Amino acid sequence: MKRVYLDHASATPVRREVIEAMLPYFDQHFGNPSMVYDIGSNVKEVMEEQRLKIAKLIGANAEEIIFTSSGAEANNLAIKGVAFARQKKGKHIIISAIEHHSVLNSARFFERMDFEVTFLQVDEHGLVDPERLSKAITPETILVSVMHANNEIGTIEPISELSAICREKGIVFHTDAVATVGNIPVDVNELNVDLLSFSGISMGAPKGVGALYFRDNLRLMPLIHGGIQEKGRRGGTENIPGIVGFGKAAEIISKELSGKVARTRNLRDFLIKGIEERLEFVKLTGHPDKRLPGHASFCVEAIEGEALIFMLSQDGIYANTGSACASKALKTSPVLVAIGVRPVLAQGSVVFTLNGNQAVEELEYVLEKFQGDVAKLRALSPIWMGKAATR
């Protein structure tokens, strides 16, 4: 049986070069980077070299990078760190309605602390309208957070337009770029953001390591209090093997990215076209053009997404049915609700995320099995039987 992995939005395989770079930092170079003796100071020097590699990947300076344990922690640090630091200036936060749960729930946390939170609605493709953002801003607004691209529908947001509105009004702007860094070119200066979260999980680095870019001189309240690590913005001994892996992955992807984008986009378009030609009553979700190069997401009428994902896995095909953090929630995706997908159709969500290394023959296999599995599920569906009777 073939094995085709198409869930790179939730996890990517760690590259062999990354593993080899990490290995010495488990048993040979194991020192604590906070120590002043050579075993520690040598490790600290290596850590700072990785910080520079990671910063270069997004057009930042090394001193503007804070290492975290994940993209979710970076999002929490951005939202909570700014809100706590600026609460005397105002208590109004604006986020989009399709943010990752780590942003959504961080904002809801402040609702319980007498902050006002505005959840910006999006259009049917998942895009935030800059004019809508402008109208939502009040004198109390201290922070806006809109993700760079949505990991469930693939839509890429007009971040530079949104951030320009906030910069003009002196409002801090954050973007969750976990889905984009490593998949498309990202430059914090072009995006004009104050804070940007990203993670090693989406670029062939190990799980358990992420980073937050913060514009120099931005005041940020730490969430984890401890020693002087990360210039006092995040306490706790740094994950040196993970950081080394993150740095190596950033170094590799910076050289490969342009070719990867074009290759992945072609494969994505092949998959989308194949599904739309083979199956009726299938809706492509997200923006048709302004989407991640490796992202193909659909809602399939008259089936249950969880059942389809299970059947595909029995064929050796691995996909998802929404965000990795929400796939076990057994409720309608808030992202699909926000873009106006009917709840009964939203239950048939399926998301394919490619990394550009798939062969066309593998995707032909996916198309064949996808068509067959959907047909099997529809044959058992009373919704489909009712639709068939009226056609």
CATH number at residue 318: 3.90.1150.10
Please say if the pLDDT value at position 328 is more than 80: no
User: Is residue 24 in a domain?
Assistant: yes
CATH assignment at residue 175: 3.40.640.10
Asked whether residue 42 is domain-assigned, the answer is yes
Contacts of 71 (CB under 8 A, 6+ apart): 100, 102, 176, 178, 197, 198, 199, 201, 210
125 and 188 in one domain? yes
81 & 194 share domain: yes
For the question of residue 325 being annotated catalytic, the response is: yes
* Beta pairing, strands 65-68 & 210-214: antiparallel
Predicted confidence at residue 384, as pLDDT, reads 86
Higher pLDDT, 212 or 228: 212
Residue ranges making up the domain that contains 116: 16-252
Q: Is residue 295 part of a domain?
A: yes
Q: Is residue 92 part of a domain?
A: yes
Q: What is the pLDDT of residue 209?
A: 97
Max mean pLDDT among 33-37, 234-238, 266-270 falls in 266-270
Predicted TM-score of the model (pTM) = 0.95
Indicate whether 332 and 377 sit together in one domain.
yes
Quick one: 243 and 268 in the same domain? Answer: no
pLDDT above 70 covers a percentage of the chain that reads 96
Tally the domains of the chain: 2
107 in a domain, yes or no? yes
pLDDT at 332 over 90: no
Closest residue by Cα to residue 151 from 284, 314, 9, 35? 9
Do 112 and 56 touch, CB atoms closer than 8 A?
Answer: no
Is residue 391 situated within a structural domain? Answer: no
Per-residue pLDDT band for 330 (boundaries 50, 70, 90) equals low
* Confidence tier at 231 by pLDDT (50, 70, 90): confident
- Same domain for 304 and 319: yes
Pick the catalytic residue from 62, 85, 221, 325. 325
- Boundary residue ending a domain (214, 230, 252): 252
Stretch 326-339: mean pLDDT: 76
> Which secondary-structure segment (H or E) carries 213?
strand 210-214
How would you class 2 by CB atoms within 10 Å of its CB: exposed for 0-12, middle for 13-18, buried for 19 or more?
Answer: exposed
HSE-CB at 32 with a 13 A cutoff on CA atoms is 8
Residues 329, 180 within the same domain: no
Shared-domain flag, residues 165 and 59:
yes
pLDDT at 36: 86
61 domain-assigned: yes
Distances from the Cα of 87 to the Cα of 117, 291, 343, angstroms: 13, 35, 37
pLDDT at 325 over 80: no
69-88 average pLDDT score: 97
Is 52 in the same domain as 147?
A: yes
Comparing CA positions, the residue from 196, 366, 155, 206 lying closest to residue 278 is 366
224 and 326 both lie in a single domain = no
Residues 208, 112 share a domain: yes
DSSP 177-197: -TTTBTTB---HHHHT-SEEE
Instruction: Based on the fold, state whether residues 138 and 271 are members of the same structural domain.
Output: no
**Cα 364 to Cα 2, 23, 263, 367, 369, distances in angstroms:** 12, 37, 16, 5, 9
* Higher per-residue confidence, 228 vs 247: 247
Which of these three, 197, 231, 252, is where a domain ends?
252
Domain boundary, last residue among 236, 252, 268? 252
Does any domain span residue 35? yes
CB-CB contact of 208 with 69 (8 Å) = yes
**DSSP-assigned letter for residue 377:** H
Domain co-membership, 230 together with 161? yes
Residue 68 has pLDDT above 90, yes or no: yes
Q: Which amino acid would we find at residue 262?
A: A
